[in-house]
Amino acid sequence: MKLVTNNSRFLILPDWHIPNLPSRILSLCQKRLPGDWQAIFGHRLLLLETFVDPQRFRGTIYKAANWIYVGDTKGFYRTRQGYSATAVSPKMVFVKALTPDAQALLSQPILEPAYRTGGSKLMLRAQQMQSLPEFFKNIPDPRRPQGQRHRLATVLAIAAGAILCGMRGYLAISDWANSLSQKARQRFGCRCQNKRFIVPSLSIIRDVLIRVDPVHLDQALQRWNHAYAQDDQSLAIDGKTMCNAIDDQGYQTHIMSAIGHQSKNCYTQKKWAPCP
């Protein structure tokens, strides 16, 4: 989705009927946008999209500018709890390719390397690997003492290391852990069995991350970040709505993050309280 951007609103008021004005404005934006996008985000933009409410408009501006009508949405809308239960107002969807091969590129099962974008990645040094478990050692373990095969600090350190290196999701974290060399596993404090260091399994990583106290985890990460992360001259505050994450009160989870401009590291994340 980072290769597609949305035009949220474009309206020519009735008193401004100037010949070819809408098409001219859209054309200028389309020519300017790819360069700005590349300069700011570091990768190309392939497709523009917009939504039109057919109960109020007909999308004449976009049709005149050679945007392609591809169909209607299902009509669900965002609510505080997630999405509406019933479809109310389907929207017309128009798209505009910024390159002749946009459809072919976006239809590939695996994107070409030049278009694979994601979070910032870094390579952990040996000292950083060894230090991570120390920052997590005082976090209370939510698991029962019986049957524990891996220290909590080790599991959290491996998960944090994987995320710092760009991994997203439990499976990606587990794959990253399994790819660690024996020396790297030793630095993370993995247990030794038959002269080999064993990493936690996918189920253990998932169970720990779900059950660990997020406040204690956040505080430990902040301490590690303060000790090892690059100094940032300024921070950006960003809010996100987490898909399919509903709290015990039935509200969709909202997260606010503080991101360093220079390092692109996340300093902290806090859950928003739902608005009344």
pTM of the entire structure? 0.46
Q: How confident is the model at residue 121 (pLDDT cuts 50, 70, 90)?
A: very low
**pLDDT above 60 for 120:** no
**pLDDT above 80 for 113:** no
What is the arithmetic mean of pLDDT over 29-34? 90
Residues in the chain: 276
DSSP class of residue 77 equals -
Through-space distance between the first and last CA atoms of the chain, rounded to whole angstroms: 31
Q: Among residues of the chain, what percentage have pLDDT more than 70?
A: 79
**pLDDT above 60 for 98:** yes
Are 165 and 176 spatial neighbours (Cβ–Cβ below 8 Å)? yes
68: number of Cβ within 10 Å:
12
What is the arithmetic mean of pLDDT over 116-125? 56
**In angstroms, rounded to a whole number, what is the distance separating the alpha carbons of residues 88 and 78?**
11
Per-residue model confidence (pLDDT) at position 93: 94
Domain with residues 4-115, CATH architecture? 3-Layer(aba) Sandwich (3.40)
Sorted by where each begins, the domain ranges of the chain are 4-115, 126-271
List, in sequence order, every residue forming a beta bridge with 236; answer none if it has no partner: 259
Q: DSSP states of 159-181 as a string? A: HHHHHHTT--SHHHHHHHHHT--
- What are all long-range contacts of 14-17, with beta carbons under 8 Å and residues at least 24 apart? none
- Residue range 165-199, pLDDT digits in tens: 777 788 888 888 888 888 889 888 898 988 899 99
Amino acid at 104: A
- Residue range 245-276, pLDDT digits in tens: 666 666 667 777 777 766 666 666 666 655 44
